Homo-oligomer: A and B are copies of this chain.
Amino acid sequence: MSKNNNSNILNVKIKAPTLEDVARVSGLSPITVSRALNNPQKVKKQTIEKVKNAVELTGYIPNMLAGGLVSKRSKLIAAAVPQINNTMFADTMQAISDQLSQRGYHMLLCLTSYSKKMEEEFVSAVLSRRPDGIVLTGINHSPSLKKKLLIANIPIIETWDFTPTPLDMLVGFSHEKIGEHIGDFLLNKGYKQFAMIWGDDERAALRLRGIMHSLSKRNINDISTHLIPMPATYESGRKGLQYLLSLNKKFDAIICSSDVLAQGAISEATKRKIIIPQELAIMGFGDLNFAKQNSPAISTVFIDKVYIGKLAADMLVDSIEGKTIANKIIDVGFKIIERETT
């Protein structure tokens, strides 16, 4: 019938070759073949050659479902992240995946759209694949997910946030501290009247709290905040500024919860001939690749997204492979980047 249904001329199904076939061809037992493939150091050089030839001959492809079933090791890591079509998480995911594949693991991607419910559903579903480890974004997870995770009893690494009491391991940074530094930075530059264009995201909320804390120390408490739904877009940044200006209040600095929003706000300001930063300062977050290139270049906060990913992958695999982790909780910090918009 169709070209390619693993049938021979008589239309009899041909089974994919198994370890046993390789064993037969090489004149060895299946278990020796298995060892030659997975623990070559436990086997004579000559034997390895025999096995290699037989594998070549038969076109054998191991079946990790069978292997994982008995060995309890899947060499699979599940990574849950809100989305990847924005550079914020994409860089980290790319780094995780690169590092994992270097260490012989594969990555299953769970995109959770900033929803706790989706995170829980996705991760519980993925648990049935028996991953050897899990990467989570953020530190807040539904209680039932936490319970399942603990029962699953596999290494977990939380990222992109900070707490002294993670589920297991953590590599991230403190959003609240970033907020305070943003506030202090702008206060020190002399700005006094603030407004926010802010994504409705829990980690962003923490940064806002940090900013508020910083400002309140100078008795600045009257702050207009325009909340926008996630994911943040250029468009919502633009509209955010429109809204804030329509309030007819006076601002000298607008803080945005992401560079994307800042970029939108800047372009709206430019269109209205508002001079940046003399008449209005604008600050972003993330140091996305366009921030430096934007005109005017966006002042923002740099996070080492790639380093987070590499570290997360390494800690996870180290933990899986029984190595002792020197430090299970790592704060990678951040850097305020001053450019032209402040």
Interface residues of A (CB under 8 A from B): 4-6, 16, 59, 61-66, 68-69, 74, 76, 83-87, 90-91, 93-94, 97-98, 101, 106-111, 122, 124-130, 148, 150-153, 234, 263-264, 267, 270, 289-290, 293, 295
Minimum C-beta distance from A103 to chain B (A): 13
B68 touches A65 (CB 8 A): yes
**Complex contacts, A86 vs chain B, CB 8 Å:** 90
Number of copies: 2
The residue that A65 contacts in the complex, of B65, B150, B293, with Cβ under 8 A, is B65
Determine if B74 and A97 form an interchain contact, defined as CB atoms under 8 angstroms apart.
no
B111 and A109 within 8 A (CB): no
Q: Please tell me if the beta carbons of A128 and B61 are within 8 angstroms of each other in the complex.
A: yes
Instruction: Select A63's contact among B69, B153, B290, beta carbons within 8 Å.
Output: B69
Distance in angstroms from A17 CB to nearest chain B CB is 10
Q: Which of B91, B129, B151 contacts A59 (CB 8 A)?
A: B151
Give chain B residues whose Cβ lies under 8 Å from the Cβ of A125.
106
Could you say which residues of chain B place their CB within 8 Å of the CB of A108? 106-109
A106 in complex: contacting residue of B63, B93, B129, B153, CB < 8 Å: B129
Contact between chains at B94 and A263 (CB < 8 Å)? no
Q: How far is the CB of A307 from chain B (nearest CB, A)?
A: 14
CB atoms of A93 and B84 under 8 A apart: yes
Q: How far is the CB of A316 from chain B (nearest CB, A)?
A: 16
CB contact between A91 and one of B85, B98, B109 (< 8 Å): that residue: B85
Chain B nearest CB, measured from A228 CB (Å):
16
**A87 vs B125: C-alpha distance when bound (angstroms):** 28
Contact in complex: A127, B6 (CB < 8 Å): no
Question: In whole angstroms, how far apart are the Cα atoms of A328 and B162 in the complex?
Answer: 48
| A to B CB contacts below 8 Å, 18 in the list | A4-B153, A5-B153, A61-B124, A64-B128, A64-B129, A65-B66, A65-B69, A65-B130, A84-B90, A85-B87, A85-B90, A85-B93, A106-B125, A107-B109, A108-B108, A108-B109, A267-B295, A290-B290
Taking a contact as CB atoms under 8 Å apart, the answer to whether A83 and B94 are in contact is: yes
Q: Which residues of B contact A84 (CB under 8 A)?
A: 84, 90, 93-94, 97
B residues within 8 A CB of A16? 151
Given A65-B130, A263-B293, list of 17 further CB < 8 A pairs? A4-B150, A59-B148, A61-B127, A64-B128, A64-B129, A76-B129, A84-B93, A85-B91, A87-B87, A90-B90, A101-B110, A106-B108, A106-B110, A106-B129, A108-B108, A109-B109, A267-B295
Are the C-beta atoms of A66 and B69 separated by less than 8 Å? yes
- Say yes or no: A61 contacts B101, CB within 8 Å: no
> Which residue of chain B has its CB nearest to the CB of A150?
B4
Q: How far does the Cβ of A120 sit from chain B's closest Cβ, in whole Å?
A: 13
Contacts of A5 in B (CB 8 A): 153
Q: How far is the CA of A109 from the CA of B94 in the complex (A)?
A: 10
A92-B128 Cα distance, complex, nearest whole Å: 26
Say whether A234 contacts B289, CB under 8 Å.
Answer: yes
Q: Are A126 and B106 in contact (CB under 8 A)?
A: yes
Asked whether, in the complex, the Cβ of B85 is within 8 Å of the Cβ of A74, the reply is: no
**A87: chain B residues within 8 A (beta carbon):** 85, 87
A62 / chain B contacts, CB cutoff of 8 Å: 128
